[in-house]
Structure 1
Amino acid sequence: MSDFPTLETPRLLLREIVSADAPALLAIHGNAEAMQWFGMDPITDIAQAQALVDTFTESRSLPNPGIRWGIQDKTHEALLGNCGFFKWNRQWKSCSLGFALGQSAWGKGFMSEALQATLVWGFEQMQLNRIEATVHPENQACLKLLERLGFVQEGRLRQAGFWLGEHRDLLQLSLLRAEFEPSPISAL
């Protein structure tokens, strides 16, 4: 994954996250309300946001690489959020999905549109057979989004996460290539 793949949807540009995006990442990942579901403590300063940019960049060169897109409304330059894959197991043709969206963009269908393009890319370009997601059981918006995209809930991972000072249960969901039915993005 040396060349970063840019994806486009009718409203969005999914692009590489760069240092100039650190302020937007601070706003997104510094929001305590949003981060209660994300699996990490909120970041608190621009240095942590820059470290997040670096983490996303470096993840592409790991033995089990990942890729994280910045989600940008085509009419604005600032990031709305981010999404992508991590823990790619090439032998098993599987990986995990992660995403975060700034609060000002909630409820507008942006993440659904972004994930639809991301899933297509994962199944086609990475040749994935299985995409996994873990979600806090009380994150109903995320669970509904994943279920609309075709993910199936498989079970509960007891105290599998730790953030904000607490061990937390997570729900395991997955989407298989054979079950994936891409929706026309314009209909989202």
Structure 2
Amino acid sequence: MSHDELGTRLPTLDGDGLQLRWLTEADLPALMSIFSNPEVMRFMAREPLTSPAAAEEFLLSIQQGFLSGNLYQWGIERAGVIIGTCTLAGIDRGNRHAEIGFALGREYWGQGLILRALPAVIEFAFTRLQLHRIGADADPRNAASIRVLEKLGFQREGLLRECYFHMGEIQDAALLGLLQRDWVQSPYASVASATSGSAK
């Protein structure tokens, strides 16, 4: 049993025309396609996957993160295909805080899909996990991701200068945060709440 009495796997969440679900070995080709792409990985804190074995190790780390209770990573499914992931990481139950992250296959960029998926994860974090705050950090050059977070109510809170060395370059990190009391006033919260009853 997980730390949040979720059983042996994450519940499936309904997004706006999408499902967020537990990742399995059948999803390894999709994970390899998404997380081996240098464009997708440019602003993420891990190196691109380089082999099927690396994809298997990545999936195992996701599943072990769930069992340890500090990382919940859902696959975003559209029409039966995993097209990306949404993640709650660094889950701190004592301080009621977690960090949110997301990735989307390169061919699906620019379609507003993350904006349709993330509200379900945020609603889960604030209602099921009873978190008080969700943080995020993003490379300031990653304007599209920051724009999505700000639409969902995240506020810019600071900048960490040159804090990552990733894929051969030094990167800054813009810090953003969302409080539960601000989320409940968001129009995206009402949409997510309407579908949250179908989590299973």
Measure how far apart 1:166 and its partner are. 2.8
Measure how far apart 1:108 and its partner are. 1.4
2:27 — aligned with what?
21
Task: Tell whether 2:71 aligns with 1:66.
Answer: yes
Cα displacement string for residues 114-154 of structure 1 (whole angstroms, at most 9, x for unaligned residues)? 10111001000110110000101100000100000000011
Measure how far apart 1:185 and its partner are. 4.0
Structure 2 unaligned residues grouped into runs of 5+? 193-200
Number of aligned positions between the proteins: 183
Larger deviation, residues 86-95 vs 2-11? 2-11
Measure how far apart 1:160 and its partner are. 2.3
1:80 — aligned with what?
83
Task: Tell whether 2:55 aligns with 1:49.
Answer: yes
Measure how far apart 1:159 and its partner are. 2.4
Task: Tell whether 2:137 aligns with 1:131.
Answer: no
1:144 — aligned with what?
147
Q: Distance in 2 between matches of 1:48 and 1:104?
A: 22
2:172 — aligned with what?
169
After superposition, residues 80-159 of structure 1 pair within 5 angstroms as 80-159=83-162
SS of aligned partner of 1:42: coil
Q: Distance in 1 between matches of 2:57 and 2:139?
A: 25
The Cα RMSD (Å) is 1.5
Structure 1 unaligned residues grouped into runs of 5+? none
Pick aligned residue for 2:40 from 21, 31, 34: 34
Q: Is the 8 A contact 1:16 1:70 kept in 2?
A: yes
Cα displacement string for residues 47-69 of structure 1 (whole angstroms, at most 9, x for unaligned residues)? 1111111111000122x611000
Identical-residue share of aligned pairs (%) = 34
Q: Distance in 2 between matches of 1:149 and 1:163?
A: 27
Pick aligned residue for 2:18 from 12, 25, 28: 12
SS of aligned partner of 1:56: helix
Measure how far apart 1:111 and its partner are. 0.7
Q: Is the 8 A contact 1:116 1:182 kept in 2?
A: no
Cα displacement string for residues 3-30 of structure 1 (whole angstroms, at most 9, x for unaligned residues)? 2211112411110011111111111111
2:197 — aligned with what?
none
Q: Distance in 2 between matches of 1:160 and 1:134?
A: 11
Q: TM-score, normalised by structure 1?
A: 0.92
Q: Distance in 2 between matches of 1:60 and 1:164?
A: 27
Measure how far apart 1:167 and its partner are. 3.0
What letter is aligned with 2:35? Answer: H
Larger deviation, residues 163-172 vs 88-97? 163-172
What letter is aligned with 1:50? Answer: E
Q: TM-score, normalised by structure 2?
A: 0.87
Q: Is the 8 A contact 1:24 1:79 kept in 2?
A: yes
Q: Distance in 2 between matches of 1:182 and 1:128?
A: 19
